[in-house]
């Protein structure tokens, strides 16, 4: 037994691998980070890249608070490793609009009072942009179904639906 070990059987356990440099393309910018291989994309964004708009909710992919866009598709950032996203285009809520130039979804969320505490709002907006990118949501029923992975503990679903529907309808008019 290792004299420095306090637990029997741990004498020959290998140390974890060291952090490695990776480059993530976040909001149109290359960001170089030193990360352990098991670091989730969510933790890389919040703890290492300083982008705290993406929220940690359940950390199990059940609430949608951590939703971001990867190559335009919505994903739960708590369920993917950061190293798996190297070479992909990651968009967070910070990349969708600015304080002085709000994204249409951000404007619609304000207009329709689609939030109360605001904790879920970044994930809701990223998910809504993802469903717009997918082009599958046209009706309220389709929007509800496609947004069902994003939970709002405050119950602002009516406003969220109105906001997303408004932007979906504008997108459909532009395409037609």
pLDDT in tens, 26-85: 999 999 999 999 999 999 999 999 999 999 999 999 999 999 999 999 999 999 999 999
In CATH, the architecture of 20-95 is Roll (3.10)
Tokens of 22: 């990776």
Which pair of structure tokens corresponds to residue 124?
A: 């809701």
Residues 42 and 56: beta-carbon distance below 8 Å:
yes
104-175 topology per CATH: DNA polymerase; domain 1 (1.10.150)
Angle among Cα 47, 61, 134 to the nearest 5 degrees reads 100
What's the whole-model pTM score?
A: 0.89
Q: What is the mean pLDDT of the chain?
A: 93
**Domain range list for the chain:** 20-95, 104-175
What per-residue confidence (pLDDT) applies to 139?
95
Q: Each residue of 119-140: pLDDT tens digit?
A: 999 999 999 999 999 998 999 9
Instruction: Answer yes or no: is pLDDT of 2 > 60.
Output: no
Q: How confident is the model at residue 100 (pLDDT cuts 50, 70, 90)?
A: very high
Walk across the sheet containing 67-70 and list its strands: 29-35, 20-26, 89-91, 67-70, 73-76
From the list 85, 43, 68, the residue with the least C-alpha distance to 133 is: 68
- Cβ–Cβ under 8 Å, residues 72 and 130: yes
Predicted confidence band at 16 (pLDDT cuts at 50, 70, 90)? confident
């Amino acid at each position: 037994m290792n004299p420095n070990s306090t637990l029997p059987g741990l004498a020959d356990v290998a140390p974890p691998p060291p952090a490695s440099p990776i480059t993530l393309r976040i909001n149109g910018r290359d960001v170089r980070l030193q990360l352990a291989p098991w670091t989730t994309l969510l933790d890389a964004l919040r703890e290492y890249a300083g982008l705290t708009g993406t929220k940690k909710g359940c950390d199990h992919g059940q609430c949608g608070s951590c939703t971001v866009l990867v190559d335009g598709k919505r994903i739960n950032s708590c369920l993917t490793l950061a190293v798996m996203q190297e070479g992909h285009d990651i968009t967070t809520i910070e990349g969708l609009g600015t304080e002085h130039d709000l994204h249409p979804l951000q404007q619609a969320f304000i207009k329709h009072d689609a939030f109360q505490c605001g904790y879920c709002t970044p994930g809701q907006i990223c998910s809504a942009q993802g469903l717009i990118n997918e082009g599958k949501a046209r009706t309220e029923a389709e929007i509800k179904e496609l947004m069902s992975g994003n939970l709002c503990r405050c119950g602002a679903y009516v406003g969220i639906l109105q906001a997303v529907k408004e932007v979906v309808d504008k997108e459909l008019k532009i395409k037609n």
